[in-house]
Every structure is written in structure tokens, then in C-alpha cells.
Amino acid sequence: MKIAIIGPGAMGCLYAYFLSKTKEEVWLLDKNAERAAKINAAGIKVEGVSGSHHIRVKATSEAKEIGQADLLLVCVKSYDTKDAIIRTKPLIGENTRIITLQNGIGNVEVISEIAGVERVIAGVTNEGVTLLDIGIIRHAGRGETVLGRIDGKIPVEMRAIRELFNKAGLETRISRDIKGLLWSKLIINAGINALTAITRLHNGKLVEFSGTRRILRDAVTEAVRVAKRKKIKLIYDDPLAKAEAVCEATSANVSSMLQDVLKHKRTEIDFINGVVVRQGQEMGIAVPVNMLLLDLVKTIEQTYGDVPQSATLS
């Protein structure tokens, strides 16, 4: 099987490491030629809960160099999804399947519009990983990966992908209600990510202070209200308790949104809290806390370079 991973960020490199253990043909595709060349030459280094490892992986910025792939894993930021799929059209053949392992809501729809809905598999992963440098990652925490189609069907090829992932050491299962999982993860991220980006706190610190804990709870409560109005079946009986438990379980983790802010990069706020705000407004549901978090993170993005930025984390 030929596997192409689109985006050599933290999650892309982590999956490249694990899938390379299966002896399948694994490629990393990067829009940045210089970065791709560096990974191609130096490989990927992993540290953390998986131990210390160094692997070689084929990386390129030219999709045609890879040719048609059997499986694409989309690991780019949500705002780059459309451009990434357009660039990777040479990889998509008649039997290619595409998995999105991205944050937020809307990626499945964007990919389906370009590549065809029958090819697309949504993925939710609880693996925790931090990008330290180009091709260098810290695996911060283990967690399962869940795959599913929006229509709830489970074709034979999805079962084969599940077996491949499990063989690679990635605990993976299939769900008939991936939409519920996507929204469940969105709700947790809505409570955690923006707050860490604003306060510069590690995940675990959010539940240690009454102020941040209260804001987290309010953001989650608003998001749950929106999901329920949409008749989304969430996987957690108590999303508030789950959000706080995630903070504690990933206490030392630097959220992806905080990593983006520290590097002065665009965040995925529009695809997390922004989704709650837009859909809440459409249904007439008040979401003031999510709107405040959205506005504050957008302001941080717009003032990179104008405001002193500290890289010190708490």
C-alpha cells in the first residue's frame, strides 16, 4: 500500500513514524520544498511516551513524484484543506481513500466537494503530540483513533485501514456515528484550546484556577447547547466533566492553538470556537463566551509583532 501524509506537522510526523513500522510505502507531502528536503535528508525524530526513535521517510513537495496513492492522510491546518486537496489531485486515483485527521468541523465537506464524498473518511484522534522543530516531535500522550464515514457505512476498505493502523501501533476503531465524535471533540477543544492560547497555560493549569475553570465550563456549556439543537448525539454523558478530565490527563501538553500563537502562526480558531459562534447565531442561541474567545484569539493573531510575545509557559 502506498500512503501519502499531507502536512509534515506534529500529527503528520507522528503518523508517518507509526505507519513506517508496517513496511508499507510511506510518503510525506509538504507545500514547502525546503522543509520537505530537510525531512527527506534528516528523517523524523520522535521522543516522549513512545521512546526515542529516528526514522527515514520519503518527503517531497511534488505530488507527481509520489504518483497515485492508496491512502491519503490529511494533516494540514483546517484553513489549508482546500488548497491541499487541490494540490494533491495527482495522488488521487479511482481507489484512493482520504482520511482527515484534522481539528474542527467542515474538513470532510471541503474534501468531499473536491475529491468525491465516497472517498472520504473522517478521523478523530486523541494522540497528543508537539512539534519541536522540523521533523522533530514529542509524543506527549497516547490515545485512540476513531474512523468513520459521515453516512455511517463501513466499507471493507475501512476495516483494512483499521487493521493497518492497529498493526502500526495506533489503537484504532470504527464508529458509525463519526459526526457525534467530531462534535464531541470540537466541544472539548472549544473549552481548552483558545483559553490556553490566550493565557499561555498548559492544559492542566486551566482547571487549577477558578477563573479559567469557569470560562472553560461556560464555553463547553454553550457548545453543548448548539450541538443538542442540531440533534448531534455526543459520546460523553457529561461533557463538562470530560473537558476537565482531558485537561488533567494532558496536563503537560501544549495545545496546538498555543503552539501556533507562540510561533506567530494563524490558528484554527475559526474552525473550533468560530463554528460554535456561527452555528449558534444561525439558530438564535446565545454564545457570548465562545464569541469572546474567538475575538480575543483573532486579536492576538492580528497583533503579532505589535505586542511583546513571551515564550514562557506555565
pTM of the model: 0.89
CATH fold for the domain made of 2-176: Rossmann fold (3.40.50)
pLDDT of residue 312: 57
Q: What sign has the CA pseudo-torsion 27, 35, 84, 230?
A: positive
CATH fold for the domain made of 179-302: N-(1-d-carboxylethyl)-l-norvaline Dehydrogenase; domain 2 (1.10.1040)
Residue 148 pLDDT more than 80? yes
Residue range 211-221: mean pLDDT, rounded: 98
Could you confirm whether 45 is annotated as catalytic?
no
For residue range 149-173, what is the model confidence (pLDDT) as tens digits?
999 999 999 999 999 999 999 999 9
pLDDT band at 314 (very low <50, low <70, confident <90, very high): low
pLDDT of residue 140: 83
Residue tagged active-site, from 77, 185, 205, 242: 185
In the chain, where the domains are located = 2-176, 179-302
pLDDT of residue 307: 60
